[in-house]
């Protein structure tokens, strides 16, 4: 080799070294920009934890892994790719994949090549957001989140500015809503006062007035009995059934009683019905710490996991196959099948525990299921492994992050604790939204393989007519910048949580009910009014302003009126529906008019187990725009017939008209007269919803898991047989559920009020007067069909 060649090689090596040094410096800058960079809470010192690499949870959701092993929330795809590329060029990349994996284990295309290959899509007029993220069908509904770097002096000033302006302006917004609610109540108060002056009782118009009176008397008698038995401390704990001795292990014994004290402690209400609750801490893949509540019977669940075992186990999901030692105490054939419940917008999981024994969570737990209650990020106590409340990065999330991160973390922890391969998922309102979003084939469809059945209560996929109210229209006129000035970049209207802390429980609940009732146009007509105050102890919770902007802002749900389709796609669906409405009506309307709810449930579940595909009558061509793939779990829907907040009927039409060929509907039910919250809080919700949910879950469990579990109450007989009314979960100090069952059968069996049924008395149902069911100037919407029936159903 000549001296010239040696000189050239030396020059090249030196150039390479300089390039590597430059890349290392640039990588260090990028790592610092994406790192933690928070200030310590004690002395104000800088506690830097620079970014190490970006981990792609899904192709559109990269999170930051820091030097100390922590996780920071989602960053833009371009920034994540830049960090990983600089890391590789600096020679710091580990011997691992060079391309980021998607949620399904598939290789994700390099973002630059991906954008170049789809450059034509950027020219479409309906896709202005596709320059910001890789082309995706759902991008118009999920615009990029704001980016906040590590703390700096200027950013700290901006954060303080937004916190001050938003606190004042959002408080004024809340006051406008409050005074609107007060004005809205004046006509009702005047009307009630007039009736009382005429010695009339206005509450008698309530549908279940007689049952409310009966339960009030029983509850007061039970409170007196509790006080009497606890005067002498040596007396035993009173049993759950009047006239019986203290039950043996496995039965339900109250450990709390007496006059109710309003509290946010769900464990207190669980103990009032013979159950108890323990709290597990769960870490999401982007570093949030969320709470998972476990309901159990203390008389048959003795070896509880320790506090350390209930703490966070790390951010990775579906990697812990450990069976919790506390669960091994049950024999192989006597375990309980796990059920995870997800709450709605501005609520906590306590919404499922607010109705005494008629709470859906308590009912399922007493029926023999292992009930777990999942709470979304922030809740009553915003927590993150690395960020604090003041950091705006802690609040840069919306419904996608709740579905893509929170839901898998909760499912993974439940399966890890119980050892089952799948669980049943029950969700209400926003809980259904995050599930529908997460299961979309472009998001995280693989979690569908961990769900045996998805029970959606008041499913929120399409907007209802309430979105046209004036204050929601005003919200859509506000630009994102103005929205952030009014509502901030942290929690949404934090004054609501401050009021929760300083106001007495009952005035706060009264205010909460009337404000939300005014906003969302629902009422307490079907709830037990004596329990209403406790229902609003679990709401509101912390949610991010970005999340509310997704629901109400000018870009996303309020504009598109759907969670996964644009307005243009929705218009196309409407045109197709109009063309074949008459065909569908001929297939479904007036068919099986004498079929009672039990027969409908039997027919639908038999269809689920039928080996023949039952959707052959659908136009397969419509499935080309499907949201879901074959990983979507079996689905059951309970739709509130008078729900103006969301349009459940339209979602049902989507499934029935063949637009989702991979979705298998196990059961569907439209409950006429029900409003948005009635599916969980109505006095007859167990009759209308709970019993069917209980049976749908059990009938869809795989045979291997079913063989390991005790059979839930009411599910022991073959599907074709009628349920024994005596085989039911007991109520504490009340036979109210038996009475509610009788009330619900009046119309079908032609019974009159006051007649006896199974030793119980049928309550009186007051007829609604004309105009009582008017909403937004119209009557309750009529269902175009009473119950859908799939073609080829063996019971059809």
Domain boundary assignment for the chain: 3-72+77-117
- Burial (CB count <10 Å: 0-12, 13-18, 19+), residue 426: buried
Taking each helix axis as running N to C, give the angle between helix 567-588 and helix 648-656, from 0 to 180 degrees, rounded to the nearest 10: 70
241 — pLDDT class (breaks 50, 70, 90): very low
Q: Does 452 score more than 70 pLDDT?
A: yes
Known active-site residue 676: yes
Contact (Cβ atoms closer than 8 angstroms) between residue 555 and residue 407: no
Q: What does the CA dihedral 656, 662, 665, 671 come to, rounded to 10 degrees?
A: -50
* Residue 580 pLDDT: 67
pLDDT attached to residue 461: 96
Cβ atoms of 333 and 656 closer than 8 Å: no
Give the pLDDT score at 514. Answer: 92
Check residue 145 and give its pLDDT.
87
pLDDT at 673: 94
584 or 756, higher pLDDT: 584
Q: What pLDDT score was predicted for residue 564?
A: 93
pLDDT confidence of residue 300: 84
Instruction: Locate 104 and state its tokens.
Output: 């399904």
Q: Report residue 369's pLDDT band, with 50, 70 and 90 as the boundaries.
A: very high
Three-state secondary structure of 99-132: CCECCCCCECCCHHHHHHHCHHHHHCCCCCCCCC
Phi, psi of 761 (to 5 degrees): -105, 135
Q: What is the pLDDT of residue 4?
A: 57
Q: 21-30, 678-687, 727-736 — which one is most confidently predicted on average?
A: 678-687
Q: Quick check: 207 pLDDT over 50? A: yes
Q: What is the pLDDT of residue 107?
A: 40
Whether residue 360 is predicted with pLDDT greater than 90 in this model: the reply is yes
What is each CA distance from 256 to 223, 261, 625, in whole angstroms? 10, 11, 53
At residue 257, the 3 state secondary structure works out as: coil
Considering only CA atoms, which of 448, 474, 517, 400 is closest in space to residue 141? Answer: 400
Better-predicted residue by pLDDT, 475 or 616: 475
The answer, yes or no, to whether residue 340 has pLDDT greater than 60, is yes
Write down the pLDDT at residue 110.
41
- Contact assessment for residue 327 and residue 310, using Cβ atoms and an 8 Å cutoff: no
Percent of the chain with pLDDT over 90: 48
Rounded Cα–Cα distance for residues 781 and 778 (Å):
8
Rounded average pLDDT over 560-577: 87
Q: What does each C-alpha distance from 321 to 281, 413, 420, 751 come to in angstroms?
A: 17, 10, 9, 53
pLDDT at 77: 86
pLDDT of residue 126: 38
pLDDT tens-digit series, residues 691-702:
999 999 999 999
In 568-659, beta strands by DSSP E: 635-640
Give me the half-sphere count of Cα atoms (radius 13 Å) on the Cβ side of residue 182: 7
Distance CA 442, CA 195 (A): 57
- Give yes or no for residue 436 having a pLDDT over 80: yes
Residue 327, pLDDT score: 61
643 carries an active-site annotation: yes
- Of residues 446, 643, 647, 678, which has the active-site annotation? 643
Which pTM was predicted? 0.83
Do 780 and 670 meet the contact criterion of CB atoms below 8 Å apart?
A: no
Please state whether beta strands 38-39 and 46-47 pair in parallel, antiparallel, or not at all (unpaired): antiparallel
157-182 pLDDT, tens digit per residue, is 989 999 999 999 999 999 999 999 99
Q: What is the pLDDT of residue 548?
A: 95
**pLDDT higher than threshold 70 for residue 584:** no
- Looking at residue 38, its pLDDT comes to 47
Query: In this predicted structure, what is the pLDDT of residue 610?
Result: 54
Higher pLDDT among residues 6 and 371, named by residue: 371
Which tokens go with 148? 């906040």
DSSP result, 657-683: TTS-TT--EEEEEEETT--TTHHHHST
Instruction: Determine the pLDDT at residue 303.
Output: 77
Closest residue by Cα to residue 526 from 765, 346, 749: 765
Residue 227: what pLDDT?
85
Residue % of the chain over a pLDDT of 70: 73
So what's the pLDDT on residue 154? 85
Which residue is catalytic, options 509, 676, 733, 742? 676
Mean pLDDT, the chain, rounded, equals 79
CA pair distance 231, 224, nearest whole angstrom: 11
What pairs with residue 54 in β-bridges? Answer: 64
Average pLDDT, integer, range 184-188: 90
pLDDT band at 717 (very low <50, low <70, confident <90, very high): confident
| Amino acid 540: pLDDT | 92
| Distance of alpha carbon 541 from alpha carbon 547, whole angstroms | 13
Q: Are 448 and 631 a contacting pair, CB within 8 Å?
A: yes
Is the model more confident about 28 or about 741? 28
Lowest-pLDDT choice from 1-10, 140-149, 185-194, 671-680: 1-10
Q: Catalytic residue among 354, 429, 544, 734, which?
A: 429
pLDDT for the residue 625 = 84
pLDDT class of 132 with cuts at 50, 70, 90: very low
pLDDT bucket at 39, cuts 50 / 70 / 90: very low
Q: Which has more confidence, 764 or 586? A: 586
Range 494-515 average pLDDT: 92
pLDDT, greater one: 84 or 737: 84
Region of 274 on the Ramachandran plot (φ > 0 left; ψ -120 to 50 alpha; else beta) = left
Contacts of 693 (CB under 8 A, 6+ apart): 360, 364, 426, 455, 636, 638
* pLDDT score of 326: 58
pLDDT at residue 648 in the model: 96
Nearest to 342 by CA among 296, 315, 377, 313: 377
User: Is there a catalytic annotation at residue 734?
Assistant: no
End-to-end CA distance of the chain: 88
Residues in the chain: 796
């Amino acid at each position: 080799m000549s001296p010239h060649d040696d000189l050239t090689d030396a020059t090249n090596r030196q150039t390479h070294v300089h390039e590597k040094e430059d890349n290392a410096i640039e990588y260090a800058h990028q790592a610092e920009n994406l790192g933690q960079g928070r200030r310590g809470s004690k002395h104000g010192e800088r506690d830097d934890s620079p970014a190490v690499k970006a981990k792609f949870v899904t192709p559109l959701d990269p999170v930051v892994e820091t030097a100390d092993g922590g996780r920071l929330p989602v960053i833009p795809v371009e920034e994540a790719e830049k960090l990983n590329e600089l890391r590789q060029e600096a020679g710091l990349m580990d011997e691992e994949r060079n391309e980021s994996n998607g949620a399904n284990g598939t290789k994700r295309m390099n973002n630059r090549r991906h954008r170049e290959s789809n450059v034509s899509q950027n020219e479409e007029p309906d896709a202005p957001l596709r320059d910001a993220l890789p082309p995706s069908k759902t991008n118009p509904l999920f615009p990029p989140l704001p980016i906040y770097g590590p703390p700096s002096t200027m950013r700290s000033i901006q954060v303080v500015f937004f916190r001050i302006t938003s606190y004042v302006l959002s408080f004024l917004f809340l006051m406008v809503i409050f005074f609107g609610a007060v004005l809205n109540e004046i006509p009702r108060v005047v009307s009630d006062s007039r009736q009382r002056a005429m010695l009339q009782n206005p509450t008698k118009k309530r549908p279940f007035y007689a049952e409310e009176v009966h339960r009030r008397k029983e509850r007061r008698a039970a409170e007196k009995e509790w006080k009497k038995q606890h005067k002498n401390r040596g007396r035993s704990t009173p049993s759950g059934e009047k006239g019986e001795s203290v039950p043996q292990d496995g039965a339900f014994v109250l450990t709390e009683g007496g006059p109710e004290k309003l509290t946010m402690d769900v464990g207190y209400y669980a103990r009032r019905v013979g159950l108890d609750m323990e709290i597990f801490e769960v870490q999401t893949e982007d570093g949030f710490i969320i709470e998972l509540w476990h309901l159990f019977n203390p008389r048959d669940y003795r070896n509880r996991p320790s506090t350390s075992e209930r703490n966070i186990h790390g951010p990775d999901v579906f990697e812990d196959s450990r069976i919790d030692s506390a669960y091994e105490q049950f024999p192989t054939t006597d375990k309980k099948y796990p059920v995870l419940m997800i709450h709605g917008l501005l609520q906590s999981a306590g919404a499922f525990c607010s109705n005494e024994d008629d709470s859906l969570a308590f009912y399922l737990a007493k029926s023999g299921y292992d009930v777990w209650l999942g709470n979304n990020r922030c809740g009553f106590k915003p927590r993150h492994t690395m960020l604090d409340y003041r950091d705006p990065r802690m609040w840069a999330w919306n419904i996608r992050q709740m579905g893509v991160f929170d839901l898998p973390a909760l499912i993974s922890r439940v399966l890890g604790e119980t050892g089952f391969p799948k669980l049943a998922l029950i969700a209400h309102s926003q809980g259904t939204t995050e599930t529908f979003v997460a299961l979309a084939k472009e998001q995280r469809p693989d979690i569908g393989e961990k769900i045996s059945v998805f029970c959606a209560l008041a499913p929120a996929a399409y907007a209802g007519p309430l979105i046209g109210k004036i204050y929601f229209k005003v919200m859509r006129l506000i630009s994102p910048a103005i929205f952030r000035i009014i509502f901030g970049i942290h929690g949404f209207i934090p004054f609501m949580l401050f009021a929760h802390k300083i106001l007495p429980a009952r005035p706060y609940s009264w205010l909460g009910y009337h404000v939300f009732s005014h906003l969302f146009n629902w009422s307490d007509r079907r709830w037990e009014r004596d329990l209403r105050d406790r229902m609003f102890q679990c709401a509101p919770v912390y949610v991010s302003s970005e999340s509310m902007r997704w629901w109400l802002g000018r870009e996303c749900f309020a504009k598109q009126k759907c969670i996964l389709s644009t307005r243009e796609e929705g218009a196309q669906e409407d045109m197709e529906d109009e063309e074949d409405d008459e065909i569908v009506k001929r297939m479904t309307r007036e068919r099986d008019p004498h079929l009672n709810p039990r027969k409908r449930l039997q027919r639908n579940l038999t269809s689920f187990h039928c080996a023949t595909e039952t959707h052959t009558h659908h136009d397969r061509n419509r499935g080309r725009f499907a949201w879901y793939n074959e990983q979507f779990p079996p689905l059951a829907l309970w739709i509130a017939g008078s729900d103006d907040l969301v349009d459940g009927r339209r979602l049902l039409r989507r499934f029935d008209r063949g637009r989702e060929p991979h979705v298998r509907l196990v059961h569907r039910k439209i409950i006429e007269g029900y409003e948005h919250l009635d599916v969980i809080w109505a006095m007859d919700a167990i009759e209308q919803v709970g019993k069917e949910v209980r049976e749908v879950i059990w009938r869809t469990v795989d045979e291997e898991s079913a063989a390991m579990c005790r059979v839930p109450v009411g599910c022991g007989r073959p599907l074709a047989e009628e349920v024994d009314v005596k085989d039911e979960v007991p109520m504490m100090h009340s036979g109210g559920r038996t009475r509610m069952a009788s009330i619900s059968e009046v119309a079908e069996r032609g019974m009159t009020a006051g007649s006896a049924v199974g030793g119980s008395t049928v309550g009186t149902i007051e007829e609604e007067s004309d105009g009582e069911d008017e909403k937004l100037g119209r009557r309750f919407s009529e269902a175009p069909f009473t119950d859908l029936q799939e073609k080829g159903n063996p019971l059809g």
